[in-house]
Structure 1
Amino acid sequence: MKNYQRIEGLVAASFTPMDALGNVYLPAIEHYADLMARSGMSGVFVCGTTGESHSLTTQERKEILVEWVKSAQGRFKVIAHVGSNSMREAMELAAHAQQVGADAIAAMAPCFFKPATVRDLIAFFAPIAASAAELPFYYYNMPSMTGVSLSVPEFLVEGKKVIPNLVGTKFTHNNLMEMGECLALNNGAFEVLHGYDEILIAGLAFGAVGGVGSTYNYLPKVYLGIIEAMKKRDMETARQLQQQSIEVVKVIIKYGGGVRGGKAIMNLIGIECGQCRLPITPFSDEEYISLKEDLEKINFFN
């Protein structure tokens, strides 16, 4: 792997901008990337769950990644999610990510025909990771979306034997015991990127030093504050800041969760992200008014 360095800090799970007709709107990414740089992001996670990856075509995913790499200008890392139900499609996306200059790749497990064992999961991922052998590969573990609940520690240990560029996991699960196991493997041999924004404090307490999250896009000061407070062992400040994030997460859950509600928030703060693709319901004008009122009640804009 070329110039591999572990990720520390915040990686924003990026939304995919759309125009009024539901087409990918690439021009918004340059302004979006400037915001991420100003916000102190260590990276962006492109075309993952937040980016509606499974609602995009392969060509769209390639075009979005190219625009992010170009717009990042080396100011932060660009991690390409290449996961797909089709291994061949994922291999194509991985090879493309390496070709266009992404800093790393990640993939979630297939969610239609699912791997039954860790061995099956390794067999599925091995050719995908090999298609971008010069890039670090992260297993994107998100059983709530994929329905795949195989042992992540076992995958990391056994997978490393046949996937040389396997460096860790994006751990989007609330099983903190398993997360702790991953962090402790082989004296911290693997990266564990914390994936649940509303319990970042817990991941940091276990020893994680980086996280990937959708609310990092519009709450960077809160999460950077949590990281700084935890470094200083100032638990009271860390708890207060985490509670602020929880209040925002409660609001986005009211409006359909992190993708739908979060994308609407991006529009409110001036990043043109448009609507989500169907089957996610479009956001109505009335909902925008209500969302803004709910955010004002918790001093979000301040």
Structure 2
Amino acid sequence: MRDLEKFKGVFVALNTIYDKNDEINVDAIKELVKIYKSKGVKGVYVCGSTGEGFLLSTEERMQVAEAVMDVAGDDFTVIVHVGCAGTKESIRLAKHAEKIGVDAVSAVPSVYYHLSPASVEKHWTGIIDSTDLPFIIYNIPQLTSFNLPLDLFERMAKNPKVIGIKNSEEPVYNMERYRTVAGDDFIIFNGSDEQYLGGRLMGANAGIGGTYGTMPELFVKLDELINQNKIEQAKLLQYKINDVIFDLISLPSLYGAAKNVISRRFGIDAGVPRSPFLPVENDEKISAIVEKIENYVAQLNELGE
């Protein structure tokens, strides 16, 4: 059995922060990582969808990864998303990630061209073979238009470097299918924030999410309740989380809303998302979301009783 404990738990899909000139704000990223460490999250997933990875240059993605590693420490797990349209650039990012000491790399299928499973397998295998790092499949068909076939997953899962999958497809049904195929010695990250409880019950043993960053305390507590088999309390907390998510996605852009809430809650200027994502004004709607989260955090002790 592999020692995969450092990949179990709650992982924040880290927002990339820019300064007023749309350059990477290294200092703000470092401060945000420190805050998440203090909140009890297990680690971060860097330069994925929430991290606006496909809006960053290769050099910027390296810059973000380096900023995170500067403050991560040995007790905080760092997974870097290296997915690109082309395998060559993904390999470049993977080699850099290995050089700076990250814990694992991850990648979506090659995007845009609607490639065959054989081409996706070639893409992922090229990345995997380029380093000695563990690899985590990133399955998000609603953005990549690639529906991961179970036979391809089975072949990939047999590679000893492939330790897990970040499964962000919306139905939780396949969590059970992936668990059945891969066995217990495998990490399945739930990627649908509003279905964290459902995903865990269907076979996931960890989670990576973009809204976690706005309310890490709630997801850490939800994970704790599930691990303690306090399912009724977990269900109530998932309802509260979904109440917040509903509010966030009702605004012009999720990333703009999340960055605004992060700024308000943690005292860090998280700025705005990179164009073409829309910013979200700091108005009464954001204030209401922040107040709601703070109220739910204040109620956490009651859920554990």
Task: Answer whether TM exceeds 0.5 for this pair.
Answer: yes
Cα contact 1:108–1:142 (8 A) shared by 2: yes
Aligned equivalents of 2:292 and 2:163: distance in 1?
Answer: 42
Does the 8 Å contact 1:87/1:124 carry over to 2? yes
Aligned match of 2:263: 267
Shift of 1:190: 2.6
CA distance in 2, matches of 1:180, 1:207: 5
After TM superposition, give the deviation of residue 150 of structure 1 in Å: 2.5
The 3 A distance-change label for structure 1 pair 233 and 85 is same
Shift of 1:160: 4.1
What is the aligned-residue RMSD (CA, Å)?
1.9
Residue 169 of structure 1 and its aligned partner are, at CA, apart by: 0.6
Partner of 2:51: 51
Q: Gaps spanning 5+ residues in structure 2: where?
A: 299-305
Amino acid at match of 1:67: A
Give CA-to-partner distance per residue, 1:66-96, whole Å, 9 cap, x none: 1101111223111000001121110100010
* Pairing 1:154–2:173 present: no
1:279 is paired with a residue of what secondary structure? coil
Q: Secondary structure at the match of 1:114?
A: coil
Structure-2 residue corresponding to 1:284: 281
Contact 1:295/1:301, CA 8 A, preserved across alignment: no
| Superposed counterparts of 1:206-245, under 5 Å | 206-245=202-241
Give me the whole-angstrom Cα distance separating, in 1, the residues matched to 2:8 and 2:254: 23
Shift of 1:139: 0.7
The amino acid that maps onto 2:110 is: P
> Which whole-Å CA distance do the structure 2 matches of 1:296 and 1:96 have between them?
40
Is 1:199 aligned to 2:198, yes or no? Answer: no
Relative distance call for 1:237 and 1:301 in structure 2 (3 A) is closer
Number of residue pairs the alignment of both structures matches:
295
Alpha-carbon separation, structure 1, partners of 2:213 and 2:279:
20
Three-state SS of the structure 2 residue aligned to 1:259 is helix
Amino acid at match of 1:182: Y
- Distance between the aligned counterparts of 1:5 and 1:294, measured in 2? 33
Query: Within 5 A, what are the aligned runs for 1:94-109?
Result: 94-109=94-109
Runs of 4+ in 1 over 3 A off after TM superposition: 2-6, 297-302
147, 169, 174: which one pairs with 1:173?
A: 169
Structure 1 residue 246 corresponds to structure 2 residue 246: no
* Aligned residue runs from structure 1 range 291-302, under 5 A: 291-296=286-291, 299=295, 302=298
Specify the alignment match of 2:124 in structure 1: 125
Distance 1:239 1:179 in 2: 18
Letter in 2 for 1:138: I
The corresponding residue for 2:42 is 42
In structure 2, the CA distance between the partners of 1:13 and 1:183, relative to structure 1 (3 Å rule), is: same
1:156 and 1:168 in contact (8 A); partners too = no
Does the C-alpha gap of structure 1 residues 205 and 301 become closer, same or farther in structure 2, counting only changes over 3 Å? closer
* Greater shift in the superposed pair: 70-79 or 227-236: 227-236
1:174-213 per-residue CA deviation (whole Å, 9 max, x = no partner) reads 2222121001124324321111111110111123221001
| 3-state SS in 2 of match to 1:44 | strand
Q: Which runs of 5+ in 1 are unaligned?
A: none
In structure 2, do the counterparts of structure 1 residues 164 and 145 end up closer, same or farther at CA, with 3 Å as the change threshold? same
Using structure 2 for the length normalisation, give the TM-score.
0.90
- Structure 2 partner of 1:83: 83
Residue 159 (structure 1) shift: 2.1
Q: CA deviation at 1:24?
A: 1.0
Structure 2: how far apart are the matches of 1:283 and 1:180?
Answer: 37
Q: For the Cα contact (< 8 Å) 1:4–1:136, is it kept in 2?
A: no
8 Å Cα contact 1:91-1:128 kept in structure 2: yes
> Shift in Å at residue 300 of structure 1?
5.5
Distance of aligned partners of 1:112 and 1:141 in 2 relative to their CA distance in 1, 3 Å threshold:
same
Give the distance between the partners of 1:283 and 1:251, measured in 2 at CA. Answer: 13
2:217 and 2:297 in contact (8 A); partners too: no
Q: CA deviation at 1:265?
A: 1.1
